[in-house]
Amino acid sequence: MKVSRPIFLLCAAISVAACTSARYDGPVYLDKDAPIEDRVEDALSRMTTEEKVAVIHAQSKFSSAGVPRLGIPELWCTDGPHGIRPEVLWDEWSQAGWTNDSCTAFPALTCLAATWNRDMSALYGKSIGEEALYRNKDVLLGPGVNILRTPLNGRNFEYMGEDPYLSGQMVVPYVKNVQKNGVAACVKHFALNNEETFRHSIDVDLDDRALYEIYLPAFKAAVQEGGAWAVMGSYNLYHGQHGTYNERLINRILKGEWGFDGAVISDWGATHETDAAVKYGLDLEFGSWTDGLAFGASNAYDNYYLANPYLAKLRSGEFTTKELDDKVRRVLRLIFRTAMNSEKGFGSLNSEAHAAAARQIGDEGIVLLKNDGNLLPVPDDASILVVGENAVKMMTVGGGSSSLKVQHEISPLDGIRNRSKAETKYARGYVGDVGGTFDGVSSGQDLRDGRTEEELIAEAVAMAGEADYVIFVGGLNKSEHQDSEGLDRLSLGLPYDQDAVISALVKANPRTIVALVSGNPVSMPWVSEVPAILQCWYLGSEAGNSIADVLFGDVNPSGKLPFTFPAALEDSPAHYGGRQFPNNGPTFYDEGIFVGYRWFEEKDIKPLFAFGHGLSYTVFEYGEAKADKTSMGEGGRIRISVPVKNAGETAGSETVQLYISDVESSLPRPRKELKDFAKIRLGPGESATVTFEIDEDKLCFYDDSKAAWTAEPGEFRALIGSASDDIRTEVGFTLK
């Protein structure tokens, strides 16, 4: 239910000003309707150098100082991007012990990307923004849009997949709708944060084509189309400079080429020196004197690199106030847009609407990977055996900074039991991570089990033979070396010998369904044996309900993979030919633009499941694609239309995907690149025509020899289908 917001939160700025011994000169620019830039300049003109320095670094674990003398309030950040982090003590990671800071956990961003639905992204941003607003947070530290270059990256579950276009399309509505609440979205981690183990020391190098075509577009979309008010720098280095303060990435590209007017915020522990931080674009420093997770000097905020060390250099004349004033303008702009935004409302926390949003996003993001013999959906009256630790383990606790304290979390087992009309039994099957505590938040579960692996499998097999259906719920979890910040996975395989459990179950009962909970691809040596496989992601508070919705057919699955599932680790570009991973120090991305499905098609490698793949309980038939003209001149457009029909007996949604192929190019190009998509819902027998509009932007590549985007005249093919490896129809055209 919706809870009334405490009145004291409304008086935060007043109380801050009243509690200081400094003279109070009154609020800056009382006319709230004045342009923000005028208000920023007015405030800046009144501030002392000491006050300016005070607002560009932290004063606590998650807040930075305002200017009490001028009525400018503090700025409060919160970790996201899947829910609002519980309160911690002022200068510790330990919990503050509040009893009213539980949140709604929304599905992980891999699930959001798998919806291929811009409306779901808008709903996500609106909902999580309302929760941040209710908790009086000014900056939500998310969303993340780093590209999945390797399936071993421990933080892939926080990102939106391998394709720059899909990530860019899905991040924009999220950012816009978070910020409609007067809460800033802080897009992260800019840029090239593609692995975790050596994230503080890996020095990434790559050609400019890969940088501009693959790794930057989603950030650019978030800034220029989404209007993001904040960007978080990355831990890793690029060209020898840390991403948090980087002349090329931040000064020249982000603030220069893209015109970003917001604040660049450091990740916690990502700042290492004063001079570079001053010169190369960092605006607001958090978490220094610490590794960002565990240790640090107590209340060392005045010793931050942008605190007293910077102030001393200003006083000595080593720096002028040129860089300082630019940083302060950006921070003030952020404060006026958020903490001093008089138009924002009150938000809401743990509302029925937010639970419904989490469930709907989860419903749309679950991907049906395989369904031989139409084994799914499960009949209402079938007896079911559920097997696997992930069927009962809470997944909202752990994983790093995205760990949450939730009001509730429906487990897959509970979701299935609540929905089924017949008997549902449970067998453990395997023992994995029996812990459930992160930064003082505990799941309250005791998952210890003293039985041997053989005993657990024997029990599950015996029970499997007596059930109509077996549903194995396994995958990864948020333990170290799985889907977790700070460390990468050690292999592509499932942990805890789950492969043996799955193989034993399907032999005992051929009606075995595997539901995988993970934010990363996993290998499946049993894929030919198991008739039905679901990719279920980390689904948050409503996880069990969403899984049950799809299993029983209350929801027709419509999710599509936002990244490729390789058959073997060495098939992926970051591991091809025995390449070292993880990397420490200089690392060159020599696969260039060939990331994800682009790589698999270039090398003629068959994936386990392709990018864009996802089945349905119905059948969609595609007609012939047609173009409204055969050639396009400069500045022109072509419209490609394709009829789609639901030829089955069940209503469902299909994501129609448009890929472009350049028939002949002066530089190597992928065989196809995603350039648009549309998700449509059709009833049984219903048809619709999907129309895509193609302009020159969709035909361009980045020519690094010219440092410019180029669309070369010649022949192109528009490829339309249900997945990157399932093209149903195509049509050619010419760019003059």
Tell me whether residue 466 is in a domain: no
Predicted pLDDT at 201: 96
Separation of alpha carbons 198 and 195, rounded Å? 7
Tell me whether residue 198 is in a domain: no
**Residue 309 banded pLDDT, cuts 50, 70, 90:** very high
Residues serving a catalytic function are 267
At 59-69, the pLDDT tens digits run 999 999 999 99
Residue 413: name the closest of 436, 441, 447 by CA: 447
Q: How high is the mean pLDDT of the chain?
A: 94
Separation of alpha carbons 703 and 701, rounded Å? 6
**Residue 227 banded pLDDT, cuts 50, 70, 90:** very high
In the numeric block, the tokens 């924002």 are attached to: 344
pLDDT at 4 exceeding the cut of 70: no
Task: Identify the weakest region by mean pLDDT among 16-25, 32-41, 46-55, 668-677.
Answer: 16-25
In the numeric block, the tokens 């190009």 are attached to: 669
Average pLDDT over residues 594-619: 98
* Residue-range definition of the domain harbouring residue 629: 618-735
Residue 86 in tokens = 């519980």
Predicted pLDDT at 297: 66
pLDDT at 6 exceeding the cut of 70: no
First-to-final CA distance of the chain: 59
pLDDT at 37 exceeding the cut of 70: yes
Task: Identify the weakest region by mean pLDDT among 9-18, 63-72, 83-92, 424-433.
Answer: 9-18
Question: Looking at per-residue confidence, does 26 or 445 come out higher?
Answer: 445
Based on the number of CB atoms within 10 Å of its own CB, is 93 exposed (0-12), middle (13-18) or buried (19 or more)? middle
**Residue 55 banded pLDDT, cuts 50, 70, 90:** very high
Task: Identify the weakest region by mean pLDDT among 30-39, 179-188, 205-214, 612-621.
Answer: 30-39
At 372-402, the pLDDT tens digits run 999 999 999 999 999 999 999 999 999 999 9
Tell me whether residue 610 is in a domain: no
Predicted pLDDT at 295: 56
pLDDT more than 90, % of the chain: 91
pLDDT at 183 exceeding the cut of 70: yes
Q: Using an 8 Å Cβ cutoff, are 475 and 496 in contact?
A: no
Helix (H), strand (E) at residue 458: helix 453-464
**Residue 296 banded pLDDT, cuts 50, 70, 90:** low
Q: What are phi and psi of 205, to 5 degrees?
A: -130, 145
Predicted pLDDT at 31: 72
Average pLDDT over residues 312-324: 97
Tell me whether residue 123 is in a domain: no
pLDDT at 300 exceeding the cut of 50: yes
At 451-484, the pLDDT tens digits run 999 999 999 999 999 999 999 999 999 999 999 9
Q: Using an 8 Å Cβ cutoff, are 426 and 557 in contact?
A: no
Q: Using an 8 Å Cβ cutoff, are 80 and 402 in contact?
A: yes
CATH code assigned at 636: 2.60.40.10
Predicted pLDDT at 27: 57
Tell me whether residue 655 is in a domain: yes
pLDDT at 19 exceeding the cut of 70: no
**Residue 8 banded pLDDT, cuts 50, 70, 90:** very low
Helix (H), strand (E) at residue 265: strand 263-265
Give the Å distances, CA to CA, from 526 to 162, 493, 494, 497, 533. Answer: 25, 11, 11, 12, 11
Question: Based on the structure, what is the number of domains in the chain?
Answer: 1
At 613-655, the pLDDT tens digits run 999 999 999 999 999 999 998 789 999 999 999 999 999 999 9
Q: Tell me the three state secondary structure of residue 266.
A: coil
Predicted pLDDT at 5: 38
Residue 662 in tokens = 């350049």
pLDDT more than 70, % of the chain: 95
pLDDT at 565 exceeding the cut of 80: yes
Predicted pLDDT at 428: 98
Tell me whether residue 436 is in a domain: no
543 Cβ neighbours under 8 A, 6+ residues apart: 107, 362, 395, 409, 410, 411, 412, 415, 517, 536
Q: What are phi and psi of 67, to 5 degrees?
A: -125, 90
At 654-709, the pLDDT tens digits run 999 999 999 999 999 999 999 999 999 999 999 999 999 999 999 999 999 999 99
Q: Tell me the three state secondary structure of residue 387.
A: strand
Predicted pLDDT at 12: 36
Give the Å distances, CA to CA, from 568 to 530, 571, 575, 598. Answer: 18, 6, 10, 16
Task: Identify the weakest region by mean pLDDT among 246-250, 274-278, 433-437, 556-560.
Answer: 433-437
Q: Identify the bridge partners of residue 186 per DSSP, sorted by sequence position.
A: 230
Tell me whether residue 697 is in a domain: yes
Handedness of CA 124, 126, 128, 129 (dihedral sign): positive
Q: Using an 8 Å Cβ cutoff, are 512 and 464 in contact?
A: yes
Tell me whether residue 725 is in a domain: yes
Separation of alpha carbons 393 and 335, rounded Å? 40
Predicted pLDDT at 20: 36
Predicted pLDDT at 301: 92
pLDDT at 149 exceeding the cut of 90: yes
pLDDT at 306 exceeding the cut of 60: yes
pLDDT at 134 exceeding the cut of 60: yes
Predicted pLDDT at 21: 37
Q: Identify the bridge partners of residue 363 per DSSP, sorted by sequence position.
A: none
Residue 15: CB atoms within 10 Å: 14
48 Cβ neighbours under 8 A, 6+ residues apart: none
Predicted pLDDT at 25: 53
Residue 725: CB atoms within 10 Å: 18
Average pLDDT over residues 149-169: 98
